[in-house]
Each structure stands twice: as structure tokens, then as C-alpha cells.
A = this chain, B = another copy of it.
Amino acid sequence: MTVTQLGTAEALLTALRRDLPGDALITGAEATAPYAADRSGSRPDGEPLAVVRAANAEHVRTTLRHAHALRVPVVPRGAGTGLSGGASAGTGTVVLDLSRMNRILDLDPNDQIAVVEPGVITAELDRAAGEFGLRYAPDPASAAISTIGGNIATNAGGLRCAKYGVTRDAVLGLDVVLADGTPIRTGRRTVKGVTGYDLTALFTGSEGTLGVITAATVRLRPVPESTATVAAYFDSFAEGAEAVSALTAARLEPSMAELVDGPVLGAVDDAQGTDLRARGGALLLLQCDGRSAATEAELAVRLLRGRATSVETTADPAEADRLLTARRLALPALERLGRVLIEDIAVPRTRLADAVHEINAAAERHGVRIFTFAHAADGNLHPILVLDPDTPGIPGAAWRAAGDIFTAALRLGGTLTGEHGVGTLKRRWLADELGPEQHALQQRIKAAFDPHHILNPGKAL
């Protein structure tokens, strides 16, 4: 830091010490270091200057007001489970930790909405809604550990989005503190509403660069009456992907369609002593839900029989859990093999097999081990790069393989991030997807919200 930066930092700390309760402020490199990174595997250039553990919206306002006046960058943070470096906080930044703001403020089963603070763990909200026969529909794989605020910041997806939508579709309104500390309330408690521009949607997925969410009004939906699970093995990922297309063509709307490739099955076998890989080169896990779940699952089984090497089905939750095990164990199994870098492209669903072909070609070309599973019904693929645990950072070959995968995703009509966000890791490809004119426009929008660029600088855009 320069002398001026040091002076600014001291001025900010003095102001925060004066205006925040003692337990809300953490300073000192050792104490702030745990707040420097997320789960992306990337590290920033140093430790944050301070961490504000906000207990309420007033703490958020105070922090932003001072940071704005002094032009100090602020990095909002939920549970730090992001996979793109969106919460990465380097030298000279203030981390605004929202995990203590974890109250469910309102849960109205008749209006089927909840009002929550940003630090509520997503699965906790779902559990609370469950007491009224309702649920929070978006279900990112991280739901047990990630916060609703972080989910909104990245517009998190999950396994049942093709049928029930992404986070954006569940968020009705937001309380947001703007860069200068001004609070606003967007949206409403109603399903419909078109007054003014849709800032609720604009904040959703903006990765903390436009404002800091202090409360969210979200929509809840009835828990489906029943769920039926189908597991089908195929000779290849391509045949599994074609089967998913066939289900779609038959107008089935599964609530989940997870497709796991052969190498992932092999990794699970190695970890668990199972023999999944022997049963096929790809595994499709399907769920149908609602009052006609069983009927739909039967239709699916009939369609899959001619294509799959084997098909199993069940309506029993314990048995379903057994069928889903391979998918649940995939990531831990891969983590045994090395350091994982989880990518996140999406393509039109008919291009799934093409995408996996491109992923495998990139792996071979750059000598990187890549394993893939997909939320197949919405074309969202997670290529998992497994890196040498002894080499720090992200090696050049991994960057190049990822770059080839992103380029392929765009060529196939897709996107470089389906549900994890751009963060710091994907910024270099951002303009390729947006085009220069839209990129410039997005920067003008950022400036309209945050003229001094104090909110999560270097992320998302």
C-alpha cells in the first residue's frame, strides 16, 4: 500500500471502530485471512484490511457510507462457497460478511412467500418452508452450506431448474444498500408487478457489484405430492444425452435429469469399491414429481428401455437415495484424485453430446484430466478439471483447456457460466460472450450504481 492508501485505510478503520460495535469489526492480517478466498481455488494478492461482520442493515449502511466516502473497495460475502472467485478479497479491501444476518423475518404460508436476511442458509429456508408443505424451489448443490444472499448474487441454479426455474424466478423483491449507503427496496410481495425497471432481476446475478442485499422476499411453492426416481446406464455419454432429448421430445418435464460420464463413475468406483463403470459409460438419474410422478416415470422408463443398457426405478425415498449416490459422491471422489476446478458451461440441451465431445478434446489437447457431469434437462455441464495438488494456483494448461471449453460453449450457442457466475476466473472471456457494445453498456450500468467502483471491483464485469 502507498502512504495515501495507508492514510485512507487508517481513516476508514477509525470511522468503523467508532460507528460499529466492537464484535462487528475484525482487523489484522491473521484474523482477516480466512475471509480472503472462496472455494474457487484462486487466492487474492494478500489479506483484507478489515472484515465487518454485519449484524443488521444499519451495519451495512455504515460500512458502505464510510467506504464510499474514502473510496475503499468492499467485498460482500455470504458463506464463501462460490466457485468463481466472486468473494475473493485482496489487499486493501473491506470484507462485508453477511453470514450473521441469518434470520427468517417472515414466512407466510398463505401468500407463499418468505422474507429472509441474506445470511440464511438456503437449506434452512427450505426446511422452514417444509413445515408448511412448501419449499424454496431453487436447489443449488451447495444448498446445505451456501446462503440465500450468495445464491441471489450469482443467480444460482441447481438440479431442478428446467422445471422450476433458477434463483431469479424465485426472487420477488430485495432490500438493497447502494454503494453510498442509501437503502432501497425493489420489487414487491406479489407474483406480478411491472412498475419501473426490474431492478430485482438486475441485482440477481450481479455478484455484489451493484449493491449489498440486506433482505430478500422470495416465492415458495408447494412440495410435490410424490417423487419417482429412475436410474439408467448407457454405453456412452452421447447416448445418454440423446435419451434426454427423446424424453424432452415426448414432452416429459422431469424435475431432475443428471447425466454423469464414465470417468466420473470410475472415480466413484475407486473411492467406494462399487462397480458402476462396468454397468455403462454414462449414468442418467431422473426424477419426476407431482401428482403424476409415477405415471411420468413409467413413460420415461418405457422410452429409455430401448436406449439404455439397464433401467431401474423407484418411488421409495431410501431406494432413490441409493440410486442418487453416484451423483452425490462424484465430487468427493474427484477430490481424492487432486485439486478440483469446477467449470460451469451451458449449451442448448440438444448440444450436450457435442459439448462433452469438445470437453474431452480440450482435455486431450492440453493434457488435463477432465471429468464431466451435467444437469442435462437445461444443458448445464460441469467439467471438473482435476489438478496436481502439489502445484499451487491454476497451471497454464488448465487455463488453456478451460478457455477452449468456453469458446466451444459459445460456438454451440451457449454460455461460459450457467449458474456459478463470472467472478474473477472467467472475466477474460466475458467480452467474447457479451460483445464489445453490450460490455460497454454493462459498464455504464455499473457506473450508474457505483460511480467510484467500490463494490466488489474486478469481479463479474
Question: Which residues of A line the B interface, CB within 8 A?
Answer: 108-113, 133-134, 154-155, 157, 161-162, 165-166, 168-169, 178, 182-186, 188-199, 201-202, 204-206, 210, 221-223, 245, 248-249, 251-253, 290-292, 295-296, 346-350, 375, 378-380, 413-422, 426, 430, 433-435, 437-439, 441-442, 444-449, 460-461
* Docked-complex contact B195 and A206, CB < 8 angstroms: no
Docked CA distance A422–B290 (Å): 37
A350 to chain B: which residues have CB within 8 Å?
Answer: 108, 110-111
A154 to chain B: which residues have CB within 8 Å?
Answer: 194
Docked CA distance A69–B412 (Å): 37
- Minimum distance in angstroms from A418 CB to a CB of chain B: 4
Task: Beyond the given A108-B350, A441-B448, please list 8 additional residue pairs across the A-B interface where CB-CB is below 8 A.
Answer: A154-B194, A189-B348, A195-B430, A196-B422, A196-B460, A197-B202, A198-B202, A444-B448
A253 to chain B: which residues have CB within 8 Å?
Answer: 221-222
Known: A110-B248, A350-B111, A438-B186. A194 touches B421 (CB 8 A): yes
* Docked-complex contact B192 and A422, CB < 8 angstroms: no
* Docked-complex contact A348 and B113, CB < 8 angstroms: yes
* Docked-complex contact B194 and A418, CB < 8 angstroms: yes
**Chain B residue nearest in CB terms to A134:** B251
* Docked-complex contact A441 and B199, CB < 8 angstroms: yes
A444 to chain B: which residues have CB within 8 Å?
Answer: 448-449
Docked CA distance A296–B290 (Å): 11
A198 to chain B: which residues have CB within 8 Å?
Answer: 155, 168, 201-202, 204-205
A291 to chain B: which residues have CB within 8 Å?
Answer: 290-292, 295-296
Docked CA distance A199–B188 (Å): 20
**Chain B residue nearest in CB terms to A438:** B184
Q: Report the copy number of this chain in the oligomer.
A: 2
- Minimum distance in angstroms from A459 CB to a CB of chain B: 12
- Minimum distance in angstroms from A159 CB to a CB of chain B: 12
A421 to chain B: which residues have CB within 8 Å?
Answer: 194
Quick one: which of B192, B205, B221, B422 contacts A157, CB cutoff 8 A? B192
Shortest 4 CB-CB distances between A and B: which pairs? A201-B201, A291-B292, A222-B251, A193-B415
* Docked-complex contact A378 and B194, CB < 8 angstroms: no
Quick one: which of B415, B441, B446 contacts A190, CB cutoff 8 A? B415
Docked CA distance A198–B421 (Å): 12
Known: A186-B438, A199-B441, A222-B253. A346 touches B205 (CB 8 A): no
A433 to chain B: which residues have CB within 8 Å?
Answer: 195-196
A438 to chain B: which residues have CB within 8 Å?
Answer: 184-186, 196, 199
Quick one: which of B109, B110, B192 contacts A418, CB cutoff 8 A? B192
Known: A245-B110, A290-B290. A185 touches B449 (CB 8 A): no
Quick one: which of B111, B191, B202, B290 contacts A201, CB cutoff 8 A? B202
Known: A198-B155, A198-B202, A290-B292. A193 touches B435 (CB 8 A): no
A435 to chain B: which residues have CB within 8 Å?
Answer: 184-185
A349 to chain B: which residues have CB within 8 Å?
Answer: 110-111, 190-191
- Minimum distance in angstroms from A424 CB to a CB of chain B: 14
* Docked-complex contact B346 and A190, CB < 8 angstroms: yes
- Minimum distance in angstroms from A238 CB to a CB of chain B: 15
8 A-B interface contacts by CB (under 8 A): A110-B349, A162-B191, A190-B378, A190-B414, A193-B346, A199-B442, A441-B448, A441-B449
Docked CA distance A460–B197 (Å): 8
**Chain B residue nearest in CB terms to A418:** B192
* Docked-complex contact B413 and A189, CB < 8 angstroms: yes
* Docked-complex contact A206 and B197, CB < 8 angstroms: yes
Docked CA distance A104–B29 (Å): 59
Known: A193-B346, A292-B291. A249 touches B442 (CB 8 A): no
* Docked-complex contact B190 and A434, CB < 8 angstroms: no
Quick one: which of B191, B251, B346, B378 contacts A223, CB cutoff 8 A? B251
- Minimum distance in angstroms from A454 CB to a CB of chain B: 16
- Minimum distance in angstroms from A449 CB to a CB of chain B: 7
Docked CA distance A190–B439 (Å): 20
* Docked-complex contact A416 and B113, CB < 8 angstroms: no
Docked CA distance A188–B109 (Å): 35
* Docked-complex contact A195 and B112, CB < 8 angstroms: no
